[in-house]
Amino acid sequence: MKITNGDELLNLENNEFIGEVPKLTNSQININGKNNTLVCEENVVLWNSRIDFNGDNSVLYLSSNNFDYALNISINGNNACFIGKNNYFNGMSSIILSESQNVIIGEDCIFSYNISIRVADAHLIYHTKTKERLNYSKSIFIGDHVWLGQGSMILKGTHIGSGSIIGANSVLSNKHVPSNTTFAGSPARLTKEDTFWLGYSVHPWSELTTIKYSQYDSENFVYEIDDNTLDFEDIDSDINKFAKPDEIVKYFESTFLEAGKNRFSLK
């Protein structure tokens, strides 16, 4: 089923739509399976986007956003993808979910141009002697207020804590990125600790504005581990226990939407 008008989501067969009808601007949603659930909060606009449900029993949760979503998402069966509020897409980002793995993205992130997020290598790699598979797919977690630089690739098993910065053209696979750190390179490595970032663009700044922001005395974007911090591995395990998509939706709502600032902190 090809959907190019949001109102068509109200007449799905063998699949479910929950929430507010999104606005589709030069965008389409293709559903080629059954028992899938799409959740859209209010203020969801898909711009030049494509969402493909290529299998069964998957959940895509799109939170309310002050900005347009610019996404190509491929969901291939038994996957869960949660995208939090008010993420800024400065160009098209690609997300591919495979082999029953999941993608969780927090809120207030910046996705620069040509971001790629993939939980799988797609093809199989084996050890020549043991004949055992080496490259199992793994879920990806990106916390709140994360800046992904242009051309960065976030690959299987990567966990990025809130407040972090990923440099342009970085490649991260099975990486553990603590909160308030900067990683860059291919493969990416730690380049700075104890960093945070602001979303202002410096392009039009005068010398006076530069001087004004030479220091920013705030703890708003400094993240710590506290009693409300969630464990990424536990989240993944919890999601995979659920047999029905509506159970996953309820889990997202009860777990993520009620958690505090440090929900996705990582050390």
Residue ranges of domains in the chain, CATH in brackets: 2-255 (2.160.10.10)
Number of H helices, E strands in the chain: 3, 24
How many CB atoms within 10 Å of residue 15? 18
What is the separation, in whole angstroms, between the first and last Cα of the chain? 43
142 strand-pairing partners: 105, 160
Predicted local distance difference test score (pLDDT) of residue 258: 74
Instruction: Kindly tell me if the per-residue pLDDT of 40 is higher than 80.
Output: yes
To 10 degrees, the CA torsion angle through 104, 110, 112, 117?
Answer: -10
Sequence-ordered list of residues with C-beta below 8 angstroms from that of 48, at least 6 positions apart, any chain: 25, 26, 27, 70, 92
This prediction's pTM: 0.96
- Rounded Cα gap, residues 267 and 256, in angstroms: 19
Phi, psi for 226 (deg, rounded to 5): -140, -170
**CA neighbor of 74 nearest in space, from 47, 108, 98:** 98
Mean pLDDT of the chain: 97
Across the range 96-124, mean pLDDT stands at 97
Sequence-ordered list of residues with C-beta below 8 angstroms from that of 214, at least 6 positions apart, any chain: none
**CA neighbor of 155 nearest in space, from 131, 183, 196, 191:** 183
3-state secondary structure of 181: strand
Q: What is the pLDDT confidence band of residue 243, given thresholds at 50, 70 and 90?
A: confident
Q: Which residue has the tokens 């859209």?
A: 40
Residue type, 3: I
Q: What is the pLDDT confidence band of residue 159, given thresholds at 50, 70 and 90?
A: very high
